[in-house]
Amino acid sequence: MTDELLNHPGALTGDVRPTASYALRVNGVERPVTDAWIGESLLYVLRERLGLAGAKDGCEQGECGACSIQVDGQLVNGCLVPAALAADSEINTVEGLPGAGGASDVQQALADSGAVQCGYCTPGLAMAVHDLLQRNHRPGEVEARQALCGNLCRCTGYRGALAAVQAVADAREAALEAELEAAERAAAAGPAAEHAPPAAAEPPHPDPGGELPLYADSELWHEADQLVPPQPPTAQDDDTLRAGGYAYPPTPPHGTAVPGAWTGPDAFAAPGGFPAPDAFAAPDAFAAAGTDPFGTTTYHDAGPYDGTVYATDGYGTDGYGTPYPGHDATPAHGIRLPEDENA
């Protein structure tokens, strides 16, 4: 080729260069190219002669990958391929990525994952991801990094692009599984199902996320009714009913000894109010063992509970057992209640 050029009559003056006419098949469409210098790159012809400017001109020397396209299913740098040599080949560019009239899933995933900043590398990256996923439906991270290592991004980095690879792989796998399941269901239903009227759609669940409160007159209430066998009436108040029918034990009156409940002389129960002489003096879980959970401190054990019941609410007091002026209906903490003497 070099000899031919040098021997060409106009080679030394530069006004005559060998040209050729050919057709490129780009994204499934035959595109004629006429009288083009045979040294023009495929990138140049696509962009300047055919108006397909998706592939970008970054370095023109095969370094940046911005011009990535597929020729006969191989990812190549369009800037390194003489266009005339691709005349019999199938060429795919970013304009041909399948996207139902919009962005392809790969392009959308790149955008969604934040892989696009100035966007100059994006068409090349999109082609590289597309090519990778055609060859490998479930690439690992190393495989993805290897596949994208020829595509330089000067703004964003590669985290988003790698995330996009996984996102598209996941989405395609899920779509395929759904398709297979639908096909299996159709096969199991048999040929008669093909002529059967379509099944009535199920009404949407009124609360798919389970976020609505349960009201006694709501649909959800009736659903809950079916799941939980009817319970004998209990001392439930309206709030309990609204909470879904769970039978909370009725709240005992103040000062009543509740089995298992804390009734000993706690920090607030000492006569005279807070602080109590010994906040851990009651036979609680720690004091019974004589140590704290870490086994380091020995607490004083006041001995077995003597059955004393103390007023437990703070209404009418300042919280430390001192009645507010005019609010003396409730005895202070630590005051033995006459009616509970024998509790």
The residues binding ligand FES (CB under 6 A) are 57-60, 62-67, 77, 79, 116-121, 153-156
Rounded to a whole number of angstroms, the minimum distance from the CB of residue 54 to ligand FES is: 13
DSSP-derived secondary structure for 172-201? HHHHHHHHHHHHHHHHHH-THHHHSPPPPP
Determine the Cα–Cα distance for residues 113 and 117; give it in Å rounded to an integer: 11
Question: C-beta of 84: minimal distance to ligand FES in Å?
Answer: 18
Contact between 331 and 315 under an 8 Å Cβ cutoff? The reply is: no
| Residue among 62 and 316 whose Cβ is closer to ligand FES | 62
| Backbone angles phi and psi of 127, in degrees to 5 | -65, -40
Cα 331 to Cα 91: distance, rounded to the nearest angstrom: 91
* Residue 106 Cβ vs ligand FES, minimum distance, rounded to whole Å: 15
Among the listed residues 259, 257, 260, 299, the one whose alpha carbon sits nearest the alpha carbon of residue 282? 299
**Would you say 80 or 187 has its CB closer to ligand FES?**
80
Residue nearer to ligand FES on the CB measure, 44 or 299? 44
Q: Least distance (Å) from ligand FES to the CB of residue 55? A: 8
Nearer to ligand FES by C-beta: 155 or 258? 155
Give the DSSP per-residue string, 142-156.
Answer: HHHHHHHTT---SSS
Q: Position 52: which residue type?
A: L
Compare residues 66 and 97 and give the one whose CB is closer to ligand FES.
Answer: 66
CA-to-CA separations, 20 to 7, 51, 77, 82, in angstroms, rounded: 18, 19, 22, 12
Which CB sits closer to ligand FES, 66 or 309? 66
Please report how close the Cβ of residue 160 comes to ligand FES at its closest, in angstroms. Answer: 9
- Give the nearest distance from C-beta 104 to ligand FES in angstroms: 18
